[in-house]
Structure 1
Amino acid sequence: MACAAHLLNDMMQSVIPAVYPLLKEKFGFSFAQIGLITLVFQMTSSVLQPFVGLHADRHPQPYSLAVGMCFTLVGLLLLAVAPGFVWILLSVSLIGWGSSVFHPESSRVAQLASGGRKGLAQSIFQVGGNAGNALGPLLAALVVIPFGQHSIGWFALAAVAAIVILLRVGAWYRDRLRTVSGPLFPGASDAVSGLSPRRIRRALLILTVLVFSKYFYMACMTNFFTFFLMERFGISVQASQYCLFAFLAAAAGGTVIGGPVGDRIGRKYVIWVSILGAAPFALLLPYAGLAGTIVLAVVVGLVISSAFSAIVVYATDLMPGKVGMIAGLFFGLMFGLGGIGSAFFGWLADRTSLEFIFRASSLLPLLGIITGLLPDVEARKTR
């Protein structure tokens, strides 16, 4: 159920970048303004998440998930009728607030229901979000692009459905809190043997750099891939949305793979292969023809998306007992860096070209090489 709610939550969020071509044409926005919309949305999604997660670790709030979704509901209804730039910023900020409440607490629910297979549980939870991200552009192409801005209001029905689901999740979570007598997360009291606080901080810094490389690149693809395809190959808005859907659907598929493989062979190796392994395909993408570009985008989405679940679980292994805070920190980093990346690439596209920003962003997955500096947490825990 947490996976289903994640699908609905991220589907509604992904409508925002999916309707950028429509908003750009209707209001005459620049690429910098498009990037600023994403920055406001993703910063409101990110800033509160570590604090929400820390509070959840100390004082779990089972029904906060449904309350947060109410912010998303109001934001969607406002976005459907927003008359200009400032109102659009307000509406996306409300959707962002809802997301900031949803992700840390729901990650705790996922690990609580994992039965010890944390990587698999995080992947199942995360694939819901990635599937929702993929559905957003598809539904925008089928609903919003043909019928206009007001049709965004229909997505409020998804918010209502998510609220109903999260009320049931909250009831299960409340009952679980009442029945568990020991630590809520088994092994939460165990430290990672042999790692000093300094090494743990260093490992978290390396993970932050890896999240930066992944989500700066993803920000370029998610927000400007449609514009790149329309400008370079002359395809229609709807066709470009279908291509974006293919990329995001591949990303959803890759997420399914990363968690369970990480449980089996080690999360460090999944992170390494995921980010650095995407680099050759990302480097080729800006120079390919239309068919090659789509194929390469699918491969990049499939490969690079397997990292995030492994990163989150790896980080919770570094700091056991702080699942909410760590989830909030890394989901917050994901949204925050994605927002900064969108604003940066929007600014850069106005001053250079879309082709230039795709060539520049293709270098980012090369940062995956620093994964080799991470300690082998799983090996230490089994000693």
Structure 2
Amino acid sequence: MSRNRTVVLLSVGHACVDVYQGAVAALVPLFVAERAYTYAAVSGIVLAASLLSSVAQPVFGALTDRWAMPWLLPVSTLLGGVGIAASGVAGSYAWTLVFVAVSGIGVAAYHPESARAARVASRGSHQAMGWFSLGGNIGFAAAPVVVAGVGALGGVRFSPVLVLPALVGSVLCLPVLRALTGRAQGGSRAGASAGVDDWRSFIRLTLGVVCRSIVFIGLSTFIALYAQQRTGAGPVGGTVALFVLYLGGAVGTVVGGHLASRWDRVTVVRWSYLLTVVTVAGIVVVPGPVFYLFVALTSAGLYVPFSLQVTLGQDYLPSRVGTASGITLGLAVSVGGLASPVIGSVADAFSLQAALAPLVVLPALGWLLFRTLPEPAAPRVAAPSEAAPAR
């Protein structure tokens, strides 16, 4: 199978998986409306999806550094879908947390192996990795629309229909699975690169990823509810705000890959974070229809760095591509959930505006972390036929 086809299939599979990350935030207004959950309670649901995912992704990344495990692609896709599908029919808050956590583990298992496979197929191309990441962003953008369809059917009790993207994604993974299994000969460390690991720079990169993640998860959890307050547009206005937040990411990811071909990745990421300081402030303080413009600009500012941070992490740790992918790709869209209960508690005690206002500071911290970060030299990525045998 050609490299381009492999990247396309991985991108589509990425879209199917990331529907479930986006679905957690998209389900929040339904849980509030139908189950009368507080802000703190729905923050706990986001935390459940993020906590195990945040812990598990580096573990799966380390495992894929040691052994190629392409079978994880269809299995983890199904696990992510089944968890979300069951969350809406769970009989209690506790079971809802359990099923959302199961989905989080599935998503965690998918990202490191898929990013490693995409790097091998694309030979380390920034633009190709941008297209791979685009799939995940499209999945995020589709999540509010898909969940809105569930709401229209009759509410969260119809959540089992949300398993459909997982079934599609797992089937699309099968030709990739056959190709990767054949090339890796049952478990080689395909995609390993020669080079020295720069842990100091990688840690700074990771801290920047954490700052971005807290902003993104904080906004995605509460933007639908906050949009109703700021625009008076009701539930439809909230769904539109969440859709814009996710859809702008699809544009930003592709733009980021093209910008990195003109300027270095660190420079592009640094200026993106600086822009995001202004746009997040606009979300917090600007009312009316202009609110949606600031949501779109914030989405672009947060997503231009997305795929660039993945390739930066892989180049800082050329001998640990799976670990780097698990942290930069996985944690970027999960670790921020650990801060969601704090945001929810502040919102319950004061207001959503007061809870979201501190998010303005985090892109500024990201800019500081990237201000003197070195641009790594892109190492040569081994072709699958050159991969070392399993240890």
TM-score by length of 1: 0.91
- Does residue 190 (structure 1) correspond to residue 190 (structure 2)? The answer is no
Q: Is the 8 Å Cα contact of residues 216 and 338 (structure 1) preserved in structure 2?
A: yes
Extract structure 1 runs of 4+ deviating beyond 3 A.
178-181, 378-381
In structure 2, the partner of 1:333 is: 331
Shift of 1:334: 2.0
Q: How many residues align?
A: 371
Give the 3-state SS of the residue equivalent to 2:175 in structure 1.
helix
Change in CA separation of 1:190 and 1:180 when aligned onto 2, cut-off 3 Å: farther
- Does residue 268 (structure 1) correspond to residue 276 (structure 2)? The answer is no
In structure 1, the partner of 2:254 is: 256
Amino acid at match of 1:141: A
Distance (whole Å) between structure 1 residues aligned to residue 161 and residue 186 of structure 2: 39
C-alpha RMSD of the superposition = 2.2
In structure 2, the partner of 1:373 is: 372
- Does residue 124 (structure 1) correspond to residue 122 (structure 2)? The answer is no
Distance (whole Å) between structure 2 residues aligned to residue 217 and residue 263 of structure 1: 27
Shift of 1:141: 2.1
Change in CA separation of 1:330 and 1:133 when aligned onto 2, cut-off 3 Å: same
Deviation digits for residues 325-351 of structure 1, max 9, x if unmatched? Answer: 111122343244221122221122112
Match for residue 41 of structure 1 among 49, 52, 69: 49
Shift of 1:115: 3.1
In structure 1, the partner of 2:181 is: 174
Give the 5 Å matches for 1:90-169: 90-117=98-125, 119-169=126-176
Change in CA separation of 1:190 and 1:139 when aligned onto 2, cut-off 3 Å: same
Distance (whole Å) between structure 2 residues aligned to residue 311 and residue 264 of structure 1: 16
Amino acid at match of 2:279: F
Change in CA separation of 1:28 and 1:189 when aligned onto 2, cut-off 3 Å: same
Deviation digits for residues 254-300 of structure 1, max 9, x if unmatched? Answer: 01111242244211112111212221222222221221110011011
Amino acid at match of 1:46: S
Give the 3-state SS of the residue equivalent to 1:275 in structure 2.
helix
Match for residue 52 of structure 1 among 44, 55, 60: 60
Shift of 1:380: 10
In structure 1, the partner of 2:387 is: none
Distance (whole Å) between structure 2 residues aligned to residue 342 and residue 322 of structure 1: 30
Distance (whole Å) between structure 2 residues aligned to residue 281 and residue 92 of structure 1: 31
Distance (whole Å) between structure 1 residues aligned to residue 343 and residue 279 of structure 2: 20
Match for residue 238 of structure 1 among 231, 236, 244: 236
Distance (whole Å) between structure 2 residues aligned to residue 378 and residue 131 of structure 1: 30
Of stretches 203-212 and 70-79 in structure 1, the one that deviates more from structure 2 is 70-79
Deviation digits for residues 201-246 of structure 1, max 9, x if unmatched? Answer: 3312221221122111111210101111222333211221012101
Q: Is the 8 Å Cα contact of residues 43 and 335 (structure 1) preserved in structure 2?
A: no
Amino acid at match of 1:190: G
In structure 2, the partner of 1:26 is: 34
Q: Is the 8 Å Cα contact of residues 275 and 301 (structure 2) preserved in structure 1?
A: yes
Distance (whole Å) between structure 2 residues aligned to residue 223 and residue 172 of structure 1: 38
Shift of 1:145: 4.5
Q: Is the 8 Å Cα contact of residues 47 and 332 (structure 1) preserved in structure 2?
A: no
Q: Is the 8 Å Cα contact of residues 49 and 104 (structure 1) preserved in structure 2?
A: yes
Distance (whole Å) between structure 2 residues aligned to residue 189 and residue 105 of structure 1: 19
Distance (whole Å) between structure 2 residues aligned to residue 290 and residue 312 of structure 1: 35
Q: Is the 8 Å Cα contact of residues 213 and 334 (structure 2) preserved in structure 1?
A: no
Amino acid at match of 2:291: T
Amino acid at match of 1:201: W
Distance (whole Å) between structure 2 residues aligned to residue 61 and residue 21 of structure 1: 37
- Does residue 75 (structure 1) correspond to residue 83 (structure 2)? The answer is yes
Distance (whole Å) between structure 1 residues aligned to residue 262 and residue 115 of structure 2: 21
Match for residue 355 of structure 1 among 350, 353, 359: 353
Amino acid at match of 1:184: A
In structure 1, the partner of 2:220 is: 222
Give the 3-state SS of the residue equivalent to 2:88 in structure 1.
helix
Identity of aligned pairs, percent?
27
Distance (whole Å) between structure 1 residues aligned to residue 11 and residue 216 of structure 2: 21
Deviation digits for residues 9-47 of structure 1, max 9, x if unmatched? Answer: 111331221121111122221111111110111112221
TM-score by length of 2: 0.89
Distance (whole Å) between structure 1 residues aligned to residue 201 and residue 290 of structure 2: 37
Q: Is the 8 Å Cα contact of residues 87 and 99 (structure 2) preserved in structure 1?
A: yes
In structure 2, the partner of 1:194 is: none
Deviation digits for residues 95-138 of structure 1, max 9, x if unmatched? Answer: 11111110000001110110341x11221111111111111012
Match for residue 11 of structure 1 among 11, 19, 44: 19
Change in CA separation of 1:176 and 1:293 when aligned onto 2, cut-off 3 Å: same
Q: Is the 8 Å Cα contact of residues 145 and 238 (structure 1) preserved in structure 2?
A: no
